[in-house]
Amino acid sequence: MIVLRALRPARWLAAALIALVPCLASSALAQTHPGQAALVDEVVRDTGKSAAELNALLDGAARQQSILDAISRPAEAKPWRDYRPIFVTPKRIADGVAFYRQHRALLEQMGARYGVDPAYLVAIIGVETSYGGNTGRYKVLDALVTLGLYYPPRASFFREQLKVLLELPANHLAGPLDTLTGSYAGAQGWGQFMPSSIRDFAVDADQDGRIDLKNSLPDIIASVANYFAGHGWAAGEPVAARAQPDARANPVTAPDSQPRWPLEQLEAWGYAPLEALSPAQPATLLKLDGANGPEYWFTFGNFQVITRYNRSPLYAMSVHQLAQAIAAGAAQADTAR
């Protein structure tokens, strides 16, 4: 009897441990990536999607060292004299002029609908993907899993983008989620939209019941235009203009591209505009390291809108200069016809 009493608890404990093994295995599978289980729980809570299907998607994603390497050396770290030649090139200008002329009716239709200069819609697509020629080779899931779950410096932002991606309806994407490709940062399509931008600004302009930023030019152009309009693009207002400092010019430092002073204040500090502009126009001053020395630019509200696409002022200036060159080239081609 004493022996039997001693064995019963041992057998009960062994049975309990055996029963616990599948649960532990299941938990381990749910954690292919750090924080995966919590992320899946949030998406299930917010959308009612299947945890098993979400885990299967995330289990199929891989941490990519090449993505971590790429984000550590962004082009925006270069000085303007080296950054500009990447994006404002004779070929990109010529291709932009050809794109503008080929799709003029659609561009002008969407430009009028959203109040955005069509040349800037072309320039965004040109800077982002060379007019759809290079939309990115990374799997979007790999990119956002890598940066959202393995890149502490910006994990909060990219984890949120991963969550939004998992929550997007299927008809907001160009194909099955695990087949999407894009940039190392997880941006998709000709306009390189992040998931939150797809959610907030992407448009089904061709009215086929889905948003396709990779294959539908109406959706692509309308979505970029809607993004600009949604961030405050003002039709007919300036973007940027050269400034000429005089010998008494005071150094002006601004933390970002927000227009902080009326233009006449910057003039009073010693910076003269090289074209006619309203003295009351809100502006800020941007100094760039140009190929021939320092360049000074007044930038305005529409310039700040471009920085909502990419916060770098170098990026915004390249979009501005490419747009100006495309508009001039298209007008010249029209005149020569």
Catalytic annotation, residues: 128
Rounded CA separation 158/144 (Å): 6
Rounded CA separation 304/255 (Å): 12
> Look-up: residue for tokens 């909502």?
308
**What strands, in cross-sheet order, belong to the sheet with 271-273?**
261-262, 282-290, 293-299, 240-245, 271-273
Phi, psi (degrees; rounded to nearest 5) at 243? -125, 145
The C-alpha torsion from 222 through 133 and 131 to 308, rounded to 10°, is 70
Rounded CA separation 139/142 (Å): 5
Rounded CA separation 43/37 (Å): 10
Indicate if the alpha-carbon torsion angle 182, 184, 187, 192 is positive or negative: negative
Angle at 37 between CA 34 and CA 42, to 5 degrees: 120
Q: Report helix, strand or coil for 139.
A: strand
Return all residues near 240 (Cβ < 8 A) that are at least 6 apart: 286, 297, 298, 299, 300, 303, 316, 317, 320
Dig out the tokens for 214 from the structure: 């990779």
Which element (helix H / strand E) includes 273?
Answer: strand 271-273
Return all residues near 22 (Cβ < 8 A) that are at least 6 apart: none
